Every structure is written in structure tokens, then in C-alpha cells.
Amino acid sequence: MISCGFAERGLIEATRGSASDALRLELEAHLAECASCRDSGKAFGLLGALKAMPAAGLGSAAEARVVRALVAERGRGAPSEARRVRRHRAAIVGGAVALAGAVLAGGLGLHFRELPLAGRGTVASSITEGQRFEAARSGVVSFAGSSVTYEPGTVMSFFPSTRTVRLEKGEIDVDVTEHGPAHFRVVTARFIVDVPGTRFVVTPVGARTIRGLVRILDPEGHELSEVPAGSSWAVPATETPPSEAPRAALERAPAVVTVAPPTSRGAPPVPARSGAAASAPGAVRGEDVTLLLERARAALVAGDATRARGLLDRATAARPGRGARPAIDLLMADSWLVARRPDEALGAYRAVMQRHARTPQGETAAFTVCQLLVERGASGEAREALGDYLERYPRGRFVREARERLAQLDPSIR
């Protein structure tokens, strides 16, 4: 018997009138067995009936009226009422945009004096090597094939020759859209983010990948970890922050890094090989939930799921606040993945998704469920899960990836 996905495609073809007789027979056999596809068949049956109806038409009197109106309209040479309203509206909107632009430019001029261009999509070609900026307000700048969105208080320097941004303070959201001769890099005091092409957020104490894949390097250029979409990485709490970003890293040529295809969040994190994240976590100071979570993350990065679960159990016993619960549950679900127990992981992610639906962790869990189902080859379930994700989080962090996955999975539309 044909699959449900194939049956849906058959239903569409049958409604469009392009299904072969053989396909119709297989379709009928499938519909007799499958209640879900039978429901789809009802919708398509009605659409088919709608299609079979004669096309709407205007009577001859109505047609004559329309022609008369068109000729009169054209003869007047004046815009219709609707067009006048639209032009008026466009003028108002245009004026407002221009005013907002002027205010924004003025504001940036005052608060972000040295940044030559700060409009979305503009190319800051006049940024010179090592130029340092301090932002008083949020904004966006295009730099070396990327769009860098900065928060107030951000202090950063740009190095166009090596496609590098040095972040000293604050937070930047980087969307790397173009490939260049070198990987895009963000250097902070304690680590370097090396980017084949993706979108991510960096603060001096960690990075979060929104799309694609980034690599975390230590200041010497050794790889610490890979952070796939939906995951984050943080500097271990035990490390003392250096006072300044490593200038040597900026002067050095970009390290040769093999560009791996973006992996799913569901894949176990790559164990850190050296540097900050690989160093043994320090002693627990009391039962500080934040510290326990940091240590659990470090244990997961090192591939030690059992230790991570122990730390998470202690965090749970320490009566965490409402804000910490989603993080604990998500890390617990991650631990099952690291332990290579996908069934338990899937159940745990589903629980996080339902229990903490309104939190970022709930959204991450919902998307991870989709990815796990895709990797399992359960395309029907994955389609439903992706559909649910997009319905629940229409402006979510993984919308673009979810749409692409859904388009790839939907065999009914070619």
C-alpha cells in the first residue's frame, strides 16, 4: 500500500486532474484503510467539486458597466479614489520613514559617532582596520558580508582584513550571509567564535548559535567545541576573565579549520579538547543552582552524561526558582542524547516542550523534537512536529530552518 505522504500527493494530483488510473486505484485502496488520509480526501473532494464548477462570470450588463467605467476613468486621467488614498498614505509613510531615518542617523551620530554607516543592509566600507566603537544605543552595521546587530553598551573593534570583530563588552547578534576568503570571526577576551556561515549571538561569556554551526576556539586558536543551531556555549564559571581580548589572535592569520556541514542540535556535543571548557570544573560553592547548571553543561560538553544528571538532580533538590526549571529540564533531556539514548531524549524533550512551552527552552525542545524525528526518518511525525512548531512559534528562532525542513519533507508538493 502507498504511504500517507504519497497518498496526499495523489490526492492533489487527482484534484488537479493529473492522476493516472493506477494512482487513483492505489489511492482508493489507501483511503479505505487510512482514516487520516480519508479526512484529507474529504477536503480535496470538496476542492475538486469547486474546481468542477463553471468559472464565475459577469453578466453582459455588468461587463458593459465595467468597460464604461474604465473608459471614463482613463478619460479623466485622474487617479481613482482608492489610488488617491493610497498615494496619500504612501506620502505619509514615506515622510515618517524619512523622519525616522533622520532621527536615527542623528541619534547614531551623537551616540555612536565613529561608526560610518549603521543602516540595515548598508556596507560599512569606510571602517578602517582596528577601528573601535562604543555604542550607546542598539543598531545594525553591515561588515564583511555579515550583519552585526549590537546592543547598547557594546564595545567592539572591526578588522576587515581578517573578517574579525573583537568584542570587549556587550552583546552582538551576527548574521553571516556571504562567504569570503576567510571565516568570519568574533574574538572575545576568553574565546574566539569561528564561523563558516551562520547566525549567532556572542557575549564576552558565551555564544548561542541560531542558525548553522559555529566553532569555539581558545585564544590560542585551539578548538574547544562546536555549537550547532539551537545550542549555546558558556565560559566555565571557574575561569578568571583576562582583562583584554587577545590581540595576538587578531594579528594571526585565520586558523585552517575544516568546514563541517551544519549538524543538528540532536547530535551529541563534540567533547572539548583543550582550553577553558575542557578544564575540570571547580568545587561547588554550596548548592548554587546556577553553578550546578554550569557544571552540568561542562560535564555534557565533556560527554559525561551520568555526572551531568547527578548535578542536575542536585540542582532540582536545591529548590530552584521558576526561571531555572526549564534550563534544568532541557539539560536533562540533553543528557539522554549525550548518553546516546534517543528514545528517552525524545520523551524528555517532548515533556520540556509541553511543560515550558512559553520559554526559550520550550521552543528549543520543540525544534529538537523535530530534528530528532527527521533524523529517525519518521517523516510523517516530523512534518506534524514541524507544523506544530511553526504554528506555535511563528516568530521563533528556528523558523527558517523549520520551513526549509518542512518543504524538503513534504512530498505532496513538487
Partner 1 sequence: MRRPAVTAPREIPANDPSIAGCRAGDAESIAMLFRTYGGMVTGIIGRLIGPTPDLEDLVQTTFVEALANIGRFRGEAKLSTWLCKIAVHVAHHHLRAGRVRRHVPLELVGTDRAPLPAALVVSGGVDHLLDSRHLAAKLHAACDRISPKKRIALLLFVLEEKSVEEIAALMRATQTATRSRMYFARRELRKLILKDRELSAMAEVLLGERQGLEQGEDR
Binding residues for partner 1 (CB under 8 A): 8, 12, 15-18, 24-25, 28, 31-32, 38-53, 55-58, 62-63, 65-67, 69-71, 73-75, 77, 79-80, 82-83, 383, 387, 390-391, 403-404, 406-407, 410, 412-414
Q: How far is the CB of 2 from partner 1 (least distance, A)?
A: 16
Contacts of 27-34 spanning 24+ positions with Cβ under 8 A: 27/2, 29/1, 29/2, 30/1, 30/2, 30/4, 31/7, 33/1, 34/4, 34/7
Measured distance CA(126)–CA(7) in Å, rounded: 57
32 vs 105, beta carbon nearer partner 1: 32
**Shorter beta-carbon distance to partner 1: residue 220 or 384:** 384
Rounded least distance, CB 72 to partner 1, Å: 9
CB of 213 to partner 1, least distance (A): 20
Q: 379 forms bridges with which residues in the sheet?
A: none
- In this complex, which beta carbon is closest to partner 1, that of residue 62 or of residue 90? 62
Q: Minimal distance in Å, beta carbon 121 to partner 1?
A: 18
Backbone angles phi, psi at 33, to 5 degrees: -100, -35
CB of 166 to partner 1, least distance (A): 35
Task: Tell me the Ramachandran region of residue 151: left when phi exceeds 0, alpha when psi lies from -120 to 50, beta otherwise.
Answer: beta
Cβ-based nearer residue to partner 1, 16 or 179:
16
The DSSP result for 30-73, as a single string, is: HHHH-HHHHHHHHHHHHHHHHHHSPPP---HHHHHHHHHHHHHH
Q: Which is nearer to partner 1, 25 or 100 (CB)?
A: 25
The full DSSP string for 223-284 is EEEEEETT-EEE--TTSPPPSS--HHHHHSPPP----PPPPPTTSPPPPP-SSGGGSPP---
Q: How far apart are CA 158 and CA 167, in angstroms?
A: 9
* Residue number, 301 or 390, with CB nearest to partner 1: 390
Q: Evaluate the CA torsion angle 218, 298, 364, 404 in order and state its sign.
A: positive
Task: For residue 390, give the nearest of 409, 376, 405, 379 by alpha carbon.
Answer: 405
Name which of 85 and 317 has its Cβ closer to partner 1: 85
- Least Å distance, CB 84 to partner 1, is 12
In the complex, what is the shortest distance from the CB of residue 214 to partner 1, in angstroms, rounded to a whole number? 23
Q: Which is nearer to partner 1, 251 or 391 (CB)?
A: 391
State the Cα–Cα distance between residues 399 and 403, nearest whole angstrom. Answer: 6
For partner 1, give the closer residue by CB, 114 or 404.
404
For the bound state, the minimum distance from the C-beta of residue 98 to partner 1, rounded and expressed in Å, comes to 24
The helix-helix angle for 342-355 and 325-338 (nearest 10°) equals 170
In the complex, minimum distance from the CB of residue 391 to partner 1, in angstroms, rounded to a whole number: 8
**321: alpha, beta or left? (left if phi > 0; alpha if psi -120 to 50):** beta
Contact between 187 and 181 (Cβ < 8 Å): no
The one-letter amino acid code at 219 reads P
